[in-house]
Structure 1
Amino acid sequence: MGAVLTAALSAVVLPASAASAAESPAAAGTVDTATARSFGRLADAVLTQRTAALLDNNEQSVRRAAPLAEKNVRLSAGQTRTEDTALSTLRTRKARLAALGEAYTSADTRVAVDRIRVEAGHATVQATETTTLTYKKIRGDEPATTGFQAHHRLSFAATADGKWQLTGLTSTDDGPLAVNEPATSRVATARTTALPEATPAAISKPSQPQTKPAGSYNYAAMASYAEKYWQNYNPAYRKFNEAGGDCTNFVSQSLKAGGWANKSGDAEDYRSWWYDTSYQSTSWVGTNEWSWFTLDAKRATNLANVYYMGVGDVMQMDFDKDGSKDHTMIVTYRSSSGVPYLTYHSVNTYRKSVASIIASYPNSLYYAYRI
Protein backbone atom coordinates (compact mmCIF):
# COMPACT_ATOMS: atom_id res chain seq x y z
CA MET A 1 0.00 0.00 0.00
CA GLY A 2 1.34 3.43 -0.87
CA ALA A 3 1.19 6.68 1.01
CA VAL A 4 -2.14 7.84 2.36
CA LEU A 5 -3.13 11.16 0.81
CA THR A 6 -5.23 12.91 3.42
CA ALA A 7 -4.83 16.48 2.22
CA ALA A 8 -7.86 18.21 0.83
CA LEU A 9 -6.76 18.79 -2.72
CA SER A 10 -8.21 22.28 -2.58
CA ALA A 11 -4.84 23.08 -0.99
CA VAL A 12 -3.36 22.34 -4.41
CA VAL A 13 -4.20 24.69 -7.25
CA LEU A 14 -5.53 22.25 -9.82
CA PRO A 15 -5.12 22.94 -13.55
CA ALA A 16 -7.94 23.21 -16.03
CA SER A 17 -6.97 19.79 -17.32
CA ALA A 18 -4.56 17.08 -16.29
CA ALA A 19 -2.97 17.24 -19.72
CA SER A 20 -2.04 20.91 -19.44
CA ALA A 21 -0.54 20.40 -15.98
CA ALA A 22 1.46 17.39 -17.09
CA GLU A 23 2.82 19.36 -20.02
CA SER A 24 4.38 22.15 -17.97
CA PRO A 25 3.73 22.18 -14.21
CA ALA A 26 6.33 24.85 -13.57
CA ALA A 27 4.78 27.26 -16.02
CA ALA A 28 1.23 26.57 -14.89
CA GLY A 29 2.09 26.77 -11.19
CA THR A 30 -0.04 23.71 -10.59
CA VAL A 31 0.08 19.97 -10.07
CA ASP A 32 -2.66 17.53 -10.93
CA THR A 33 -4.06 14.93 -8.57
CA ALA A 34 -1.80 12.18 -9.93
CA THR A 35 1.33 14.26 -9.30
CA ALA A 36 0.13 15.18 -5.81
CA ARG A 37 -0.27 11.48 -5.06
CA SER A 38 3.18 10.81 -6.50
CA PHE A 39 4.64 13.37 -4.08
CA GLY A 40 3.07 11.43 -1.23
CA ARG A 41 4.23 8.05 -2.50
CA LEU A 42 7.81 9.27 -2.88
CA ALA A 43 7.79 10.68 0.67
CA ASP A 44 6.45 7.35 1.87
CA ALA A 45 9.17 5.46 -0.01
CA VAL A 46 12.03 7.58 1.35
CA LEU A 47 10.88 7.41 4.97
CA THR A 48 10.05 3.70 4.76
CA GLN A 49 13.55 3.05 3.44
CA ARG A 50 15.02 4.96 6.39
CA THR A 51 12.98 2.86 8.81
CA ALA A 52 14.08 -0.34 7.08
CA ALA A 53 17.74 0.56 7.70
CA LEU A 54 17.14 0.05 11.43
CA LEU A 55 15.70 -3.45 11.23
CA ASP A 56 17.54 -6.49 12.52
CA ASN A 57 16.60 -8.94 9.77
CA ASN A 58 18.11 -7.61 6.56
CA GLU A 59 15.49 -4.88 6.25
CA GLN A 60 12.85 -7.28 4.91
CA SER A 61 10.14 -7.01 7.58
CA VAL A 62 8.92 -3.57 6.63
CA ARG A 63 5.87 -2.65 4.62
CA ARG A 64 6.81 -2.42 0.96
CA ALA A 65 6.49 1.16 -0.24
CA ALA A 66 6.46 2.70 -3.70
CA PRO A 67 9.78 2.85 -5.58
CA LEU A 68 12.04 5.88 -5.16
CA ALA A 69 11.25 6.99 -8.71
CA GLU A 70 7.98 7.24 -10.58
CA LYS A 71 7.05 8.35 -14.07
CA ASN A 72 6.95 12.03 -13.14
CA VAL A 73 8.59 12.32 -9.69
CA ARG A 74 12.02 11.18 -8.51
CA LEU A 75 14.95 12.09 -6.23
CA SER A 76 17.45 14.64 -7.48
CA ALA A 77 21.08 13.57 -7.73
CA GLY A 78 21.91 15.62 -4.65
CA GLN A 79 19.05 14.16 -2.64
CA THR A 80 20.07 10.66 -3.70
CA ARG A 81 23.51 11.28 -2.18
CA THR A 82 21.86 12.72 0.94
CA GLU A 83 19.72 9.61 1.34
CA ASP A 84 22.72 7.32 0.84
CA THR A 85 24.46 9.16 3.69
CA ALA A 86 21.31 9.01 5.80
CA LEU A 87 21.02 5.25 5.39
CA SER A 88 24.67 4.78 6.32
CA THR A 89 24.12 6.90 9.45
CA LEU A 90 21.06 4.88 10.40
CA ARG A 91 22.86 1.57 9.96
CA THR A 92 25.53 2.88 12.32
CA ARG A 93 22.77 3.78 14.76
CA LYS A 94 21.40 0.23 14.43
CA ALA A 95 24.81 -1.14 15.39
CA ARG A 96 24.99 1.25 18.35
CA LEU A 97 21.53 0.10 19.45
CA ALA A 98 22.60 -3.53 19.19
CA ALA A 99 25.56 -2.81 21.46
CA LEU A 100 23.09 -1.34 23.96
CA GLY A 101 20.91 -4.45 23.78
CA GLU A 102 18.11 -3.24 21.52
CA ALA A 103 16.88 -4.20 18.05
CA TYR A 104 13.71 -4.07 15.94
CA THR A 105 12.29 -7.01 14.01
CA SER A 106 9.64 -5.30 11.90
CA ALA A 107 8.17 -1.89 11.21
CA ASP A 108 5.38 -0.02 9.52
CA THR A 109 5.80 3.53 8.21
CA ARG A 110 2.90 5.49 6.73
CA VAL A 111 2.97 9.00 5.32
CA ALA A 112 -0.02 11.32 5.01
CA VAL A 113 0.27 14.47 2.90
CA ASP A 114 -1.17 17.39 4.84
CA ARG A 115 -0.63 20.28 2.45
CA ILE A 116 0.93 21.13 -0.92
CA ARG A 117 1.92 24.57 -2.16
CA VAL A 118 3.22 25.25 -5.66
CA GLU A 119 4.90 28.47 -6.73
CA ALA A 120 7.28 29.38 -9.57
CA GLY A 121 8.36 25.85 -10.38
CA HIS A 122 8.78 24.76 -6.75
CA ALA A 123 6.45 22.61 -4.68
CA THR A 124 6.49 22.42 -0.88
CA VAL A 125 4.82 19.41 0.70
CA GLN A 126 3.96 19.19 4.41
CA ALA A 127 3.58 15.57 5.49
CA THR A 128 3.00 13.55 8.66
CA GLU A 129 4.81 10.26 9.19
CA THR A 130 3.43 7.60 11.54
CA THR A 131 5.85 4.77 12.31
CA THR A 132 5.56 1.71 14.55
CA LEU A 133 8.53 -0.58 15.24
CA THR A 134 8.38 -3.99 16.90
CA TYR A 135 11.00 -4.65 19.57
CA LYS A 136 13.10 -7.78 19.21
CA LYS A 137 12.79 -9.95 22.32
CA ILE A 138 16.44 -9.93 23.35
CA ARG A 139 15.90 -9.96 27.13
CA GLY A 140 12.28 -11.05 26.85
CA ASP A 141 10.89 -8.16 28.89
CA GLU A 142 10.71 -5.49 26.19
CA PRO A 143 7.31 -3.94 25.39
CA ALA A 144 5.72 -5.05 22.14
CA THR A 145 6.24 -1.89 20.12
CA THR A 146 7.39 1.70 20.04
CA GLY A 147 5.90 4.37 17.81
CA PHE A 148 6.04 8.02 16.86
CA GLN A 149 4.52 10.70 14.67
CA ALA A 150 6.88 13.08 12.88
CA HIS A 151 6.29 16.05 10.60
CA HIS A 152 8.31 16.76 7.48
CA ARG A 153 8.71 19.42 4.82
CA LEU A 154 9.62 18.14 1.35
CA SER A 155 10.88 20.43 -1.41
CA PHE A 156 10.35 19.57 -5.07
CA ALA A 157 11.68 21.39 -8.13
CA ALA A 158 10.17 21.20 -11.61
CA THR A 159 12.47 20.12 -14.44
CA ALA A 160 12.53 21.34 -18.02
CA ASP A 161 10.82 18.17 -19.26
CA GLY A 162 7.76 18.72 -17.06
CA LYS A 163 8.75 16.36 -14.24
CA TRP A 164 9.57 16.91 -10.56
CA GLN A 165 12.61 16.14 -8.42
CA LEU A 166 12.78 15.88 -4.63
CA THR A 167 15.53 18.30 -3.57
CA GLY A 168 15.09 18.45 0.20
CA LEU A 169 13.53 16.64 3.16
CA THR A 170 13.51 18.40 6.54
CA SER A 171 11.96 17.56 9.90
CA THR A 172 9.80 20.38 11.26
CA ASP A 173 9.56 18.99 14.81
CA ASP A 174 11.34 20.12 17.95
CA GLY A 175 12.65 17.63 20.48
CA PRO A 176 14.73 14.47 20.08
CA LEU A 177 15.18 12.92 16.69
CA ALA A 178 12.78 10.24 15.61
CA VAL A 179 14.73 6.99 15.63
CA ASN A 180 14.80 6.92 11.80
CA GLU A 181 15.88 10.57 11.48
CA PRO A 182 19.60 11.06 10.68
CA ALA A 183 21.44 13.27 13.15
CA THR A 184 22.47 16.80 12.26
CA SER A 185 25.03 18.89 14.08
CA ARG A 186 23.96 21.57 16.55
CA VAL A 187 25.82 24.72 17.45
CA ALA A 188 26.28 25.28 21.17
CA THR A 189 25.88 28.72 22.71
CA ALA A 190 27.24 29.67 26.11
CA ARG A 191 24.84 30.20 28.99
CA THR A 192 25.35 30.91 32.67
CA THR A 193 22.81 30.92 35.48
CA ALA A 194 22.57 31.05 39.27
CA LEU A 195 19.22 29.26 39.34
CA PRO A 196 18.68 25.75 40.79
CA GLU A 197 20.61 23.38 38.55
CA ALA A 198 20.12 19.68 37.96
CA THR A 199 22.98 17.19 38.13
CA PRO A 200 23.68 15.27 34.89
CA ALA A 201 23.15 11.51 34.97
CA ALA A 202 25.39 8.75 33.70
CA ILE A 203 24.18 6.89 30.59
CA SER A 204 26.05 3.58 30.87
CA LYS A 205 23.84 0.70 31.93
CA PRO A 206 24.70 -0.44 35.48
CA SER A 207 25.37 -4.09 36.21
CA GLN A 208 22.45 -4.24 38.65
CA PRO A 209 19.06 -2.59 38.06
CA GLN A 210 17.75 -0.28 40.77
CA THR A 211 14.17 -0.64 41.96
CA LYS A 212 12.11 2.51 42.43
CA PRO A 213 10.84 2.77 46.01
CA ALA A 214 7.22 3.54 46.81
CA GLY A 215 6.38 7.23 46.66
CA SER A 216 3.56 9.60 47.45
CA TYR A 217 2.20 9.89 43.89
CA ASN A 218 0.19 7.63 41.61
CA TYR A 219 2.86 6.69 39.07
CA ALA A 220 0.59 4.27 37.23
CA ALA A 221 -1.87 7.12 36.64
CA MET A 222 0.93 9.28 35.24
CA ALA A 223 1.94 6.55 32.81
CA SER A 224 -1.65 5.76 31.87
CA TYR A 225 -2.34 9.42 31.10
CA ALA A 226 0.78 9.79 28.95
CA GLU A 227 0.09 6.62 26.99
CA LYS A 228 -3.51 7.70 26.41
CA TYR A 229 -2.64 11.15 25.06
CA TRP A 230 0.78 10.71 23.42
CA GLN A 231 -0.78 10.82 19.95
CA ASN A 232 -4.30 12.19 20.44
CA TYR A 233 -3.91 15.32 22.54
CA ASN A 234 -6.21 15.97 25.50
CA PRO A 235 -8.56 18.76 24.33
CA ALA A 236 -8.83 20.04 27.91
CA TYR A 237 -5.31 21.51 27.58
CA ARG A 238 -3.76 24.04 25.24
CA LYS A 239 -1.07 22.86 22.81
CA PHE A 240 2.34 24.53 22.48
CA ASN A 241 3.77 22.78 19.43
CA GLU A 242 4.07 26.11 17.60
CA ALA A 243 5.42 27.95 20.64
CA GLY A 244 8.65 26.15 21.46
CA GLY A 245 7.30 22.61 21.76
CA ASP A 246 4.69 20.72 23.78
CA CYS A 247 6.98 18.31 25.65
CA THR A 248 7.00 19.93 29.10
CA ASN A 249 3.31 20.83 28.91
CA PHE A 250 2.59 17.14 28.26
CA VAL A 251 4.78 15.95 31.15
CA SER A 252 3.15 18.50 33.47
CA GLN A 253 -0.28 17.14 32.51
CA SER A 254 0.90 13.60 33.27
CA LEU A 255 2.33 14.61 36.64
CA LYS A 256 -0.91 16.37 37.56
CA ALA A 257 -2.85 13.23 36.62
CA GLY A 258 -0.71 11.35 39.13
CA GLY A 259 -1.19 13.75 42.02
CA TRP A 260 1.01 16.81 41.58
CA ALA A 261 -0.81 19.78 43.06
CA ASN A 262 -0.78 23.32 41.73
CA LYS A 263 1.47 25.79 43.52
CA SER A 264 0.18 29.33 43.18
CA GLY A 265 2.30 32.35 42.41
CA ASP A 266 3.25 34.74 39.65
CA ALA A 267 3.23 33.09 36.22
CA GLU A 268 6.82 34.16 35.52
CA ASP A 269 8.16 32.97 38.90
CA TYR A 270 9.71 29.52 38.54
CA ARG A 271 8.75 28.78 42.15
CA SER A 272 5.09 28.48 41.10
CA TRP A 273 3.54 25.67 39.04
CA TRP A 274 -0.03 25.85 37.80
CA TYR A 275 -2.41 25.76 34.84
CA ASP A 276 -5.86 27.32 34.46
CA THR A 277 -8.36 27.99 31.71
CA SER A 278 -6.66 31.18 30.55
CA TYR A 279 -2.94 30.86 31.30
CA GLN A 280 -0.22 28.80 32.97
CA SER A 281 3.04 29.27 34.83
CA THR A 282 6.25 29.23 32.82
CA SER A 283 7.33 26.20 34.87
CA TRP A 284 4.35 24.27 33.47
CA VAL A 285 5.56 24.62 29.87
CA GLY A 286 9.23 25.64 30.06
CA THR A 287 11.89 22.93 30.16
CA ASN A 288 14.39 24.82 32.31
CA GLU A 289 11.70 26.46 34.45
CA TRP A 290 10.17 23.05 35.16
CA SER A 291 13.54 21.79 36.38
CA TRP A 292 14.09 24.85 38.56
CA PHE A 293 10.64 24.52 40.13
CA THR A 294 10.95 20.78 40.65
CA LEU A 295 14.28 21.00 42.46
CA ASP A 296 13.40 24.14 44.44
CA ALA A 297 10.06 22.68 45.59
CA LYS A 298 11.66 19.29 46.29
CA ARG A 299 9.15 17.56 44.05
CA ALA A 300 12.01 15.41 42.73
CA THR A 301 15.65 14.53 43.24
CA ASN A 302 18.27 13.85 40.59
CA LEU A 303 19.31 10.27 39.91
CA ALA A 304 22.92 9.33 39.22
CA ASN A 305 22.06 7.18 36.19
CA VAL A 306 19.26 7.31 33.62
CA TYR A 307 18.77 3.55 33.99
CA TYR A 308 17.70 4.09 37.60
CA MET A 309 14.47 5.74 36.43
CA GLY A 310 11.16 4.03 37.05
CA VAL A 311 7.59 4.60 35.88
CA GLY A 312 6.57 8.21 36.53
CA ASP A 313 10.13 9.53 36.61
CA VAL A 314 11.20 12.25 34.20
CA MET A 315 14.20 12.65 31.91
CA GLN A 316 15.47 15.86 30.35
CA MET A 317 18.16 16.43 27.73
CA ASP A 318 20.60 19.18 26.85
CA PHE A 319 21.32 18.28 23.24
CA ASP A 320 24.36 20.49 22.69
CA LYS A 321 25.70 20.85 26.26
CA ASP A 322 25.14 24.61 26.32
CA GLY A 323 23.67 24.59 29.84
CA SER A 324 20.07 24.97 28.67
CA LYS A 325 17.83 21.92 28.75
CA ASP A 326 15.98 21.24 25.51
CA HIS A 327 13.48 18.43 26.06
CA THR A 328 11.34 16.71 28.72
CA MET A 329 10.03 13.10 28.73
CA ILE A 330 8.28 10.77 31.17
CA VAL A 331 8.90 7.07 31.83
CA THR A 332 5.77 5.02 31.16
CA TYR A 333 7.25 1.51 31.12
CA ARG A 334 10.25 -0.20 32.68
CA SER A 335 11.40 -3.69 31.76
CA SER A 336 12.24 -6.24 34.41
CA SER A 337 15.91 -5.99 33.42
CA GLY A 338 15.91 -2.27 34.21
CA VAL A 339 15.45 -0.44 30.90
CA PRO A 340 13.19 2.66 31.10
CA TYR A 341 10.92 3.47 28.14
CA LEU A 342 9.84 7.07 27.60
CA THR A 343 6.71 8.65 26.13
CA TYR A 344 6.59 12.28 25.03
CA HIS A 345 5.37 15.02 22.70
CA SER A 346 7.37 16.87 20.04
CA VAL A 347 7.98 14.32 18.27
CA ASN A 348 4.90 12.42 19.52
CA THR A 349 6.49 9.18 20.74
CA TYR A 350 5.34 6.05 22.60
CA ARG A 351 7.61 3.83 24.71
CA LYS A 352 10.99 4.72 23.23
CA SER A 353 13.80 3.11 25.19
CA VAL A 354 16.44 5.22 26.86
CA ALA A 355 18.99 3.11 24.95
CA SER A 356 17.49 4.23 21.65
CA ILE A 357 17.71 7.89 22.67
CA ILE A 358 21.32 7.50 23.82
CA ALA A 359 22.17 5.79 20.52
CA SER A 360 20.94 8.88 18.66
CA TYR A 361 22.52 11.38 21.08
CA PRO A 362 25.61 9.76 22.62
CA ASN A 363 27.25 13.13 23.36
CA SER A 364 24.34 15.01 24.93
CA LEU A 365 23.73 15.68 28.63
CA TYR A 366 20.98 13.72 30.38
CA TYR A 367 19.10 14.58 33.58
CA ALA A 368 17.05 11.98 35.45
CA TYR A 369 14.46 13.02 38.05
CA ARG A 370 13.05 10.70 40.70
CA ILE A 371 9.48 11.95 41.12
Structure 2
Amino acid sequence: MSAEQLAYAKNPPGSQAALKIGTGRVATPAKAVAPNDHVPETKPAVGPKTGATTPSLMAGYDYTAMVNYARSWALGRNGAYRQFGNDCQNFVSQSLKAGGWQDQGGWYQYDSSWWYDWANQTYSWTGAQNFHNFAVGQGRVTYLSYLNDLGPADVLQVHWPEGTPDVDHSMFVTYSPWSAGTRDIRVSYPTNDVLDRSVWDLYASFPYATWYGLRT
Protein backbone atom coordinates (compact mmCIF):
# COMPACT_ATOMS: atom_id res chain seq x y z
CA MET A 1 0.00 0.00 0.00
CA SER A 2 1.39 3.39 -0.99
CA ALA A 3 1.67 6.35 1.40
CA GLU A 4 -1.25 8.01 -0.40
CA GLN A 5 -3.42 4.91 -0.09
CA LEU A 6 -2.54 4.55 3.60
CA ALA A 7 -3.41 8.18 4.31
CA TYR A 8 -6.68 7.79 2.43
CA ALA A 9 -7.58 4.62 4.36
CA LYS A 10 -6.92 6.33 7.67
CA ASN A 11 -8.82 9.48 6.75
CA PRO A 12 -11.90 8.60 4.67
CA PRO A 13 -14.22 11.29 3.33
CA GLY A 14 -16.21 12.91 6.11
CA SER A 15 -13.42 12.56 8.66
CA GLN A 16 -10.73 15.05 9.61
CA ALA A 17 -8.86 14.18 6.43
CA ALA A 18 -5.40 15.72 6.37
CA LEU A 19 -4.44 18.05 3.57
CA LYS A 20 -1.04 17.56 1.98
CA ILE A 21 0.37 21.02 2.50
CA GLY A 22 3.99 20.73 1.47
CA THR A 23 7.35 19.76 2.90
CA GLY A 24 8.18 21.05 6.35
CA ARG A 25 4.67 22.00 7.42
CA VAL A 26 3.22 20.20 10.41
CA ALA A 27 -0.41 19.10 10.52
CA THR A 28 -2.50 20.45 13.39
CA PRO A 29 -5.77 19.14 14.84
CA ALA A 30 -8.95 20.09 13.02
CA LYS A 31 -11.41 22.40 14.74
CA ALA A 32 -13.47 20.55 17.36
CA VAL A 33 -16.36 22.98 17.75
CA ALA A 34 -18.46 25.05 15.39
CA PRO A 35 -17.87 28.81 15.15
CA ASN A 36 -20.57 31.17 16.34
CA ASP A 37 -21.46 32.42 12.85
CA HIS A 38 -21.96 30.48 9.65
CA VAL A 39 -20.57 33.23 7.43
CA PRO A 40 -18.97 36.10 9.36
CA GLU A 41 -19.50 39.37 7.53
CA THR A 42 -15.91 40.50 7.99
CA LYS A 43 -12.54 39.35 9.18
CA PRO A 44 -9.34 41.37 9.66
CA ALA A 45 -7.35 42.13 6.56
CA VAL A 46 -3.83 40.74 6.37
CA GLY A 47 -1.19 43.13 5.11
CA PRO A 48 1.26 42.07 2.40
CA LYS A 49 4.47 40.40 3.63
CA THR A 50 4.17 41.49 7.26
CA GLY A 51 1.17 39.32 8.17
CA ALA A 52 0.00 42.07 10.52
CA THR A 53 -3.73 42.23 11.12
CA THR A 54 -5.95 45.28 11.32
CA PRO A 55 -8.92 44.99 13.70
CA SER A 56 -11.00 47.68 11.99
CA LEU A 57 -14.06 46.23 10.24
CA MET A 58 -13.70 48.92 7.58
CA ALA A 59 -10.36 47.37 6.66
CA GLY A 60 -11.65 43.82 6.91
CA TYR A 61 -12.65 41.36 4.25
CA ASP A 62 -16.33 40.75 3.66
CA TYR A 63 -16.89 36.97 3.66
CA THR A 64 -20.54 37.33 2.76
CA ALA A 65 -19.82 39.41 -0.34
CA MET A 66 -17.21 36.90 -1.49
CA VAL A 67 -19.53 33.93 -1.10
CA ASN A 68 -22.49 35.73 -2.66
CA TYR A 69 -20.38 36.71 -5.66
CA ALA A 70 -19.08 33.17 -6.13
CA ARG A 71 -22.55 31.68 -5.89
CA SER A 72 -23.89 34.23 -8.39
CA TRP A 73 -21.27 33.57 -11.06
CA ALA A 74 -20.23 29.92 -10.71
CA LEU A 75 -22.74 28.94 -13.39
CA GLY A 76 -22.27 32.03 -15.53
CA ARG A 77 -19.78 34.74 -16.44
CA ASN A 78 -19.59 38.33 -15.30
CA GLY A 79 -19.30 40.45 -18.44
CA ALA A 80 -17.27 43.05 -16.53
CA TYR A 81 -14.31 40.66 -16.69
CA ARG A 82 -12.53 38.98 -19.58
CA GLN A 83 -12.89 35.21 -19.86
CA PHE A 84 -10.12 32.65 -20.24
CA GLY A 85 -10.05 29.02 -21.35
CA ASN A 86 -9.52 27.66 -17.84
CA ASP A 87 -11.40 30.28 -15.89
CA CYS A 88 -11.19 28.86 -12.37
CA GLN A 89 -8.56 31.21 -10.95
CA ASN A 90 -10.09 34.23 -12.70
CA PHE A 91 -13.34 33.35 -10.89
CA VAL A 92 -11.59 32.96 -7.52
CA SER A 93 -9.79 36.28 -7.96
CA GLN A 94 -13.05 38.04 -8.81
CA SER A 95 -14.69 36.58 -5.70
CA LEU A 96 -11.86 37.76 -3.47
CA LYS A 97 -11.92 41.20 -5.07
CA ALA A 98 -15.68 41.43 -4.40
CA GLY A 99 -14.98 40.90 -0.71
CA GLY A 100 -12.29 43.52 -0.32
CA TRP A 101 -8.97 42.16 -1.53
CA GLN A 102 -6.89 45.12 -2.68
CA ASP A 103 -4.72 45.26 -5.79
CA GLN A 104 -0.99 44.75 -5.38
CA GLY A 105 0.84 46.76 -8.01
CA GLY A 106 3.81 45.58 -10.01
CA TRP A 107 4.84 43.97 -13.27
CA TYR A 108 2.09 41.70 -14.57
CA GLN A 109 4.42 38.71 -14.87
CA TYR A 110 5.64 38.92 -11.26
CA ASP A 111 4.00 36.72 -8.67
CA SER A 112 4.44 39.51 -6.15
CA SER A 113 1.72 41.45 -8.04
CA TRP A 114 -2.05 40.92 -8.21
CA TRP A 115 -4.35 43.20 -10.21
CA TYR A 116 -6.82 43.43 -13.08
CA ASP A 117 -7.61 46.43 -15.27
CA TRP A 118 -9.28 47.26 -18.57
CA ALA A 119 -6.23 46.24 -20.63
CA ASN A 120 -4.42 43.47 -18.78
CA GLN A 121 -4.12 41.41 -15.61
CA THR A 122 -1.36 39.72 -13.65
CA TYR A 123 -0.44 36.09 -14.06
CA SER A 124 -1.48 35.67 -10.44
CA TRP A 125 -5.01 36.80 -11.29
CA THR A 126 -5.59 33.97 -13.76
CA GLY A 127 -3.00 31.27 -13.00
CA ALA A 128 -3.59 28.85 -10.12
CA GLN A 129 0.10 28.34 -9.29
CA ASN A 130 0.86 32.04 -9.77
CA PHE A 131 -1.98 32.92 -7.40
CA HIS A 132 -0.66 30.39 -4.88
CA ASN A 133 2.79 31.98 -5.07
CA PHE A 134 1.33 35.45 -4.62
CA ALA A 135 -1.17 34.70 -1.87
CA VAL A 136 1.25 32.70 0.25
CA GLY A 137 4.31 34.82 -0.50
CA GLN A 138 2.57 38.11 0.24
CA GLY A 139 0.85 36.92 3.41
CA ARG A 140 -2.68 37.14 2.03
CA VAL A 141 -3.47 33.55 3.07
CA THR A 142 -2.33 30.90 5.52
CA TYR A 143 -2.25 27.14 4.98
CA LEU A 144 -4.90 24.94 6.52
CA SER A 145 -3.98 21.46 7.68
CA TYR A 146 -7.26 19.59 7.28
CA LEU A 147 -10.08 19.56 4.77
CA ASN A 148 -12.39 19.84 7.76
CA ASP A 149 -10.91 23.26 8.54
CA LEU A 150 -12.14 24.85 5.30
CA GLY A 151 -14.71 27.58 5.88
CA PRO A 152 -16.74 30.00 3.76
CA ALA A 153 -14.66 32.10 1.36
CA ASP A 154 -11.54 29.95 1.75
CA VAL A 155 -9.76 28.70 -1.37
CA LEU A 156 -9.15 25.03 -2.15
CA GLN A 157 -6.47 24.22 -4.71
CA VAL A 158 -5.45 20.87 -6.14
CA HIS A 159 -2.52 19.36 -8.00
CA TRP A 160 -3.25 16.29 -10.08
CA PRO A 161 -0.43 13.69 -10.02
CA GLU A 162 0.16 13.86 -13.78
CA GLY A 163 2.28 16.52 -15.44
CA THR A 164 4.21 19.31 -13.75
CA PRO A 165 4.24 19.81 -9.96
CA ASP A 166 2.29 23.05 -10.31
CA VAL A 167 -1.13 23.68 -8.78
CA ASP A 168 -3.68 22.80 -11.46
CA HIS A 169 -7.05 24.04 -10.26
CA SER A 170 -8.61 26.55 -7.84
CA MET A 171 -12.03 26.36 -6.16
CA PHE A 172 -13.95 28.64 -3.81
CA VAL A 173 -15.72 27.43 -0.66
CA THR A 174 -19.36 28.53 -0.97
CA TYR A 175 -21.02 26.31 1.66
CA SER A 176 -19.62 25.06 4.94
CA PRO A 177 -22.03 24.43 7.84
CA TRP A 178 -21.29 21.96 10.59
CA SER A 179 -23.09 18.63 10.64
CA ALA A 180 -22.50 15.79 13.14
CA GLY A 181 -19.08 17.08 14.13
CA THR A 182 -17.74 17.68 10.63
CA ARG A 183 -18.27 20.29 7.95
CA ASP A 184 -20.47 19.71 4.93
CA ILE A 185 -17.99 21.62 2.80
CA ARG A 186 -18.86 22.47 -0.78
CA VAL A 187 -16.91 24.33 -3.43
CA SER A 188 -17.81 26.13 -6.63
CA TYR A 189 -15.85 26.78 -9.81
CA PRO A 190 -16.71 27.81 -13.38
CA THR A 191 -14.43 25.65 -15.52
CA ASN A 192 -17.14 22.99 -15.62
CA ASP A 193 -19.79 25.31 -14.18
CA VAL A 194 -20.06 23.65 -10.77
CA LEU A 195 -22.02 25.03 -7.82
CA ASP A 196 -21.64 23.49 -4.35
CA ARG A 197 -19.79 20.26 -5.11
CA SER A 198 -18.95 18.28 -1.98
CA VAL A 199 -15.29 18.42 -0.98
CA TRP A 200 -15.62 14.84 0.26
CA ASP A 201 -16.86 13.76 -3.16
CA LEU A 202 -13.83 15.43 -4.74
CA TYR A 203 -11.48 13.84 -2.23
CA ALA A 204 -12.93 10.39 -2.84
CA SER A 205 -12.78 10.87 -6.62
CA PHE A 206 -9.10 11.92 -6.62
CA PRO A 207 -7.38 10.11 -3.73
CA TYR A 208 -3.89 10.63 -5.16
CA ALA A 209 -4.21 14.38 -5.66
CA THR A 210 -2.39 16.93 -3.51
CA TRP A 211 -4.71 19.43 -1.83
CA TYR A 212 -3.97 22.94 -0.62
CA GLY A 213 -6.40 24.70 1.72
CA LEU A 214 -5.86 28.46 1.90
CA ARG A 215 -7.44 30.56 4.65
CA THR A 216 -8.19 33.90 3.01
Query: What is the TM-score of this pair, normalised by structure 1?
Result: 0.44
1:122-160 CA-partner distances (Å, limit 9, x unpaired):
xxxxxxxxxxxxxxxxxxxxxxxxxxxxxxxxxxxxxxx
Q: What's the secondary structure of 2:211's corresponding residue?
A: strand
- Higher RCO (Cα < 8 Å, 6 or more apart): 2
**Could you say what the CA RMSD is over the residues aligned between the two structures, in angstroms?**
2.6
Count of residue correspondences: 174
Separation (CA, whole Å) in 2 of partners of 1:284 and 1:332: 20
Larger radius of gyration: 1
Distance, in Å, in 2 between the alignment partners of 1:301 and 1:339 is 21
**Residues 336-345 or 247-256, more deviating:** 336-345
The 1:209–1:362 alpha-carbon spacing in structure 2 relative to 1, beyond 3 Å, is farther
- 1:282–1:207 CA distance, 2 compared to 1 (3 A): closer
Q: Name stretches of at least 5 consecutive residues in structure 2 with no aligned partner.
A: 1-8, 15-20, 45-59
Structure having the higher strand fraction is 1
SS at match of 1:316: strand
AA partner of residue 257 (structure 1): A
Match of 1:312 in 2: 153
Q: Secondary structure at the match of 2:131?
A: helix
- Show the 5 A alignment for 1:55-94: none
1:256 is aligned to 97
Displacement of 1:208 after TM fit? 2.9
**For residue 238 of structure 1, what is the aligned residue in structure 2?**
82
Name the residue aligned to 1:10.
none
| Equivalence for 1:127 | none
Q: Confirm or deny that 1:100 pairs with 2:8.
A: no
Question: After superposition, what is the alpha-carbon deviation per residue over 1:1-35, rounded to whole angstroms, capped at 9, x for unaligned?
Answer: xxxxxxxxxxxxxxxxxxxxxxxxxxxxxxxxxxx
* Matching of residue 354 in structure 1 with residue 199 in structure 2: yes
2:51 corresponds to? none
Task: Output the TM-score relative to the length of structure 2.
Answer: 0.73
1:106-125 mapped onto 2 (5 Å cutoff): none
Q: Which runs of 5+ in 1 are unaligned?
A: 1-95, 102-197
Equivalent residue of 1:208, what SS? coil
User: Shift of the alpha carbon at 1:301?
Assistant: 0.4
- Pairwise CA distance, 1:335: 1.8
Percent identity (aligned): 34
- Write the letter of the residue equivalent to 1:251: V
Contact 1:302 1:367 in 2 (8 A): yes
Q: Which amino acid aligns with 1:222?
A: M
Conservation of the 8 A alpha-carbon contact between 2:76 and 2:190: no
Q: How big is each residue's C-alpha offset from its partner over 1:72-116, in whole Å with a ceiling of 9 and x where there is no partner?
A: xxxxxxxxxxxxxxxxxxxxxxxx9xx735xxxxxxxxxxxxxxx
The answer to whether the 8 A contact 2:89-2:125 is kept is yes
Q: Post-superposition shift, 1:210? A: 6.1
Is residue 345 from structure 1 mapped to residue 190 from structure 2 by the alignment?
A: yes
2:63 maps to what in 1? Answer: 219
Q: How big is each residue's C-alpha offset from its partner over 1:156-211, in whole Å with a ceiling of 9 and x where there is no partner?
A: xxxxxxxxxxxxxxxxxxxxxxxxxxxxxxxxxxxxxxxxxx638999x9583564
